[in-house]
Amino acid sequence: MGTATLERAPTEGTPTSRSSKAWWVEPLEPYARADVRRAVWCLATSVVPYVALWVAMYYLLRVSYALALVVALPASGFLVRTFIVFHDCGHGSFLPTKRANRLVGIFTGLFIYSPYFAWNHEHAGHHATSGDLDRRGLGDVDTWTVAEYRSKSRLGQLGYRLLRSPFVMLTLGPLWALVLEPRKLPFRGRRRVFRSHLYTNLAVTVMIAAVIWAVGWRAFLEVQLPLVVLAGGAGVWLFYVQHQFEDAYWTRSGEWSYADAALKGSSYLRLPKALQFFSGNIGLHHVHHLNPRIPNYNLQRAHDENPFLQTAPTISLWQGVRSLNLKLIDEQSGSMVSFAQARRSCRR
């Protein structure tokens, strides 16, 4: 089966236009149709239980903080699921109209403290450059090649090691990605992106102030902080393992193919059903990257009914955990390697 090479995918929407359809567009079109009833159900099983469990955690603080932390586990899962709704709205796939997607996206963005339009702009860059060695750094995890790592100073190498350590990525990373970085105002960026940051910051400030007024600052932190760390850590890990596995597709711009980046550079993370529910089917990442207009509730059906999608790299939950040890791109072998593997190859 051949693949169509695209020089650049557009910044938003589907990767192809109606006038020049790629080979995968037509077979996936039936799944790229939003269903209002399924979308409403997905929204209701995301935001509503998250808010309910947040309140439950607050009342459990009076009984036992340990019990509150137990409830934080499913609550953080529903927060991840809420993020997936936000994510789909950004691709215009969750609901049938642009206005509906925008309103729901802005609304769900408040729960994850993320500016809707600004996040969409950055995430579109990720879709357009995923797997391209010459266009790294757009909405993805910083990843160096072995040669780049060796060319850096000891201080630079240490900084990269810290950035890529599981502890930093899964604990400090969520605090930076959800709490701190979105608060920065991009004065030199697009006006729409600037306004997205500004208005979201104002709305989040009002929302947090109202909650603190109702429950107190200490209770707010005792409930919200573990949720941010747990949900954010899960989100960072999901995003990481979907493009950072041993045989992930990485190539230079001259040889880069949108289809190959989706089908070879995005994994099918096969999760237990409960985790697949909480993660909004995002483990079917190869389907999502090939056609981001497919809503999360149609991803599994698209995968099951199209054999060409079933050729994508499949990794298990345990393999996804082990992939955290992969740190560098080895251009010679065409695979991702650990620091130890890179060091051994240097000695040969």
Q: Which DSSP letter does residue 185 get?
A: -
Tell whether 8 is covered by a domain.
Answer: no
Look at residue 20 in the predicted model and tell me its pLDDT.
67
Tell whether 11 is covered by a domain.
Answer: no
CB 289 within 8 A of CB 266: yes
CB 291 within 8 A of CB 263: no
Tell whether 7 is covered by a domain.
Answer: no
Write down the H helix ranges in the chain. Answer: 25-28, 36-44, 47-60, 65-90, 98-111, 116-129, 146-151, 154-164, 166-167, 173-174, 191-215, 217-241, 258-263, 273-278, 285-290, 299-305, 317-322, 339-347
pTM above 0.75, yes or no: yes
Look at residue 348 in the predicted model and tell me its pLDDT.
59
CB 336 within 8 A of CB 245: yes
Sheet containing 328-330: give its strands across.
144-145, 328-330, 335-337
Tell whether 4 is covered by a domain.
Answer: no
Tell whether 84 is covered by a domain.
Answer: yes
Tell whether 3 is covered by a domain.
Answer: no
Q: Which DSSP letter does residue 329 get?
A: E
Tell whether 5 is covered by a domain.
Answer: no
**Cα torsion angle, 217, 222, 228, 231, sign:** negative
CA–CA dist 54, 219 (Å, integer)? 11
CA–CA dist 262, 285 (Å, integer)? 8
φ, ψ at 315 (rounded to 5°) = -125, 145
The three-state secondary structure class of 79 is: helix
Tell whether 16 is covered by a domain.
Answer: no
Residuewise pLDDT in 10s, the chain (348 residues):
333 333 334 334 444 444 467 888 999 999 999 999 999 999 999 999 999 999 999 999 999 999 999 999 999 999 999 999 999 999 999 999 999 999 999 999 999 999 999 999 889 889 999 999 999 877 778 899 999 999 999 999 999 999 999 999 999 988 988 888 888 888 877 888 899 999 999 999 999 999 999 999 999 999 999 999 999 999 999 989 999 999 999 999 999 999 999 999 999 999 999 999 999 999 999 999 999 999 999 999 999 999 999 999 999 999 999 999 999 999 988 899 999 998 887 655
Closest CA to 302 of 101, 78, 25, 89: 25
Q: Label residue 131 left, alpha or beta by phi (over 0 means left) and psi (-120 to 50 means alpha).
A: left
Domain hosting 273: range is 25-347
Structure tokens at 211: 């909650």
Look at residue 186 in the predicted model and tell me its pLDDT.
85
- The number of beta carbons lying within 10 Å of the beta carbon of residue 158 is 11
Q: What is the number of domains present in the chain?
A: 1
